Amino acid sequence: MFALLTAIPQSSFSSQRSTAMLSRSGTLSDGTSYGAFIPPNWNGTLLLDLDFLQNWEAPFYRALFARGYGAAGVSRNYTAPPGGQYLKPWVDRVLAVEELVRSQFGRPRRVIAWGVSRGGHVAEAMAEHHPERIDAAIAMCIYGGAATIMNQDLDIMFALKALLAPDDPALLLTNISEGPATPASMGLAPTLAAWSAVIEKAGATPQGRARLSLAAAIGQLPVWVDASVPRPDASDSSASADGWLRNLRMRISATGTYAFMRPAYETSAGGNFSWNIGVDYRRLLTGKRRGIVKELYKEAGLDLEADLNAIEAAPRIAPDDQARWFLNEPSVNYGGALKIPVLTMMTIGDPLLPVSDIWALRQAVDRAGRGAMLRMTFTEAVGHCNFTPAEMLAAVETMTHRLDTGEWGDSTSPKSMNALAATLDSGGAHFISYELEPLPRAFLLGDAHP
């Protein structure tokens, strides 16, 4: 079945390290470039990756090719589809590449969709909606669904505005850009400058730091997002406040959740689809985060209950009528009815997609009664998708084991993942145990909404 593989020697790729070499595989009907690499020692497994053309020469891919894995995918961009975050067209493109690979090289023994960030979202969406086309998915650094993460973003920015500058018209919460939402053309400079000024002013006083921390804690933001500082102790209120301030600064940077993801989604949806009507913000401040905030408020001489009252009293926001359809869009909101295995991997200090957000996927899968299909792993690292080659290779080998045996066993425990990574000669790994807190604002496909 795989006889055609020998007709494409490895040198046909490795001898021409150029975009032109890869693009000779062709373009899809919409102009998207695609490529594939099938090594001479192909083990029959094909990895589908939204970002394959950007990453095929990366160390983790070199290691995968050496171990006999084939891979294929496309080159994503930020202008098509409009907004860049509506997943279905990207799912269709990656599946089109799989069909082309199958027609040229023979049917793979198995297909694993995998990817990071939007590529991870595409992989998970393929697992939920196209299990007949793939055998498994590895989704890395992903969100809890479009509505979940945008509601989380709204909660944070809503609380900040209510506490720090409730009457400032420059501090937009929703519908923050017009036109294509790309990193180069979001038209958000005045809004971002206004937010930056407010956050920096608050960060300079104990009272402001306490209020910044309250907003960040309501949104369950990680306190560790900067690799230049040690991971804060969970009981260290001062270090936590420092970490939350760093996180909020990143949030309004050009590639942050507020500054990049919100306009991208709103452009795709045709308006704002997040809301906070009926939300009890006291209920969102729970666990250790509440204790840290209470300590900061005490040190600052502030009344926490008064500030929670101020947040509760602020005018609420409803979804735009023309954007409500996005709440029922299955490619960007989780249903959870998995029929094939899915493995996720998250850094615990991701400033773009907070690790807390992934709770929505866990909840959706459990609600659908498919918990046995999902395993979640976490690495002790900061940054968005900041995984080592060993960690990524360990994820692929672990999924391969799952498909070979039909069982997870203890394969996804930190001990097992680190031990496996140590045998792969691809650098270090930092898998850890991490307990997710329930995310009260998780939105699942089919949930009620205003």
Q: Where are the domains of the chain?
A: 3-144+332-432, 146-327
Residue 245, pLDDT > 50, answer yes
Residue 276, pLDDT > 80, answer yes
pLDDT band for position 425 (cuts 50, 70, 90): confident
| Rounded distance between C-alpha atoms, residue 328 and residue 334, angstroms | 10
Residue range 432-444: mean pLDDT, rounded: 94
The phi-psi region of residue 181 (left if phi > 0; otherwise alpha if psi is between -120 and 50; otherwise beta) is: beta
Residue 70, pLDDT > 70, answer yes
Residue range 271-288: mean pLDDT, rounded: 95
Count of residues for the chain? 450
Residue 12, pLDDT > 50, answer no
Residue range 276-304: mean pLDDT, rounded: 96
pLDDT band for position 190 (cuts 50, 70, 90): confident
Q: Exposed e or buried b for every residue in 374-384, given b needs 16+ CB within 10 A?
A: bbbbbbbbbeb
- Say if CB 341 and CB 300 are below 8 A apart: no
- Say if CB 76 and CB 121 are below 8 A apart: no
Which is more confident, 27 or 337? Answer: 337
Looking at the DSSP bridge assignments, the partners of residue 313 are: none
Per-residue pLDDT, 23? 33
pLDDT band for position 104 (cuts 50, 70, 90): confident
Greatest distance between any 2 Cα atoms in the chain? 75
Name the residue type at position 70. G
Residue 16, pLDDT > 50, answer no
Alpha-carbon torsion (89, 91, 92, 93), positive or negative: positive
Classify domain 3-144+332-432 at the CATH class level: alpha beta
Q: Quote the DSSP letter at residue 349.
A: E
| Rounded distance between C-alpha atoms, residue 96 and residue 352, angstroms | 29
Per-residue pLDDT, 76? 80
Which is more confident, 159 or 87? Answer: 159
| Rounded distance between C-alpha atoms, residue 164 and residue 161, angstroms | 5
Per-residue pLDDT, 187? 64
Residue 21, pLDDT > 80, answer no
Residue range 239-268: mean pLDDT, rounded: 92
The pair phi, psi for residue 208, each rounded to 5°, is -65, -40
Per-residue pLDDT, 267? 84
| Rounded distance between C-alpha atoms, residue 393 and residue 64, angstroms | 7
Per-residue pLDDT, 178? 55
Residue range 110-122: mean pLDDT, rounded: 96
Residue range 163-187: mean pLDDT, rounded: 75
Identify the burial level of 262 via C-beta atoms within 10 angstroms of its C-beta, where 0-12 means exposed, 13-18 middle and 19 or more buried.
Answer: buried
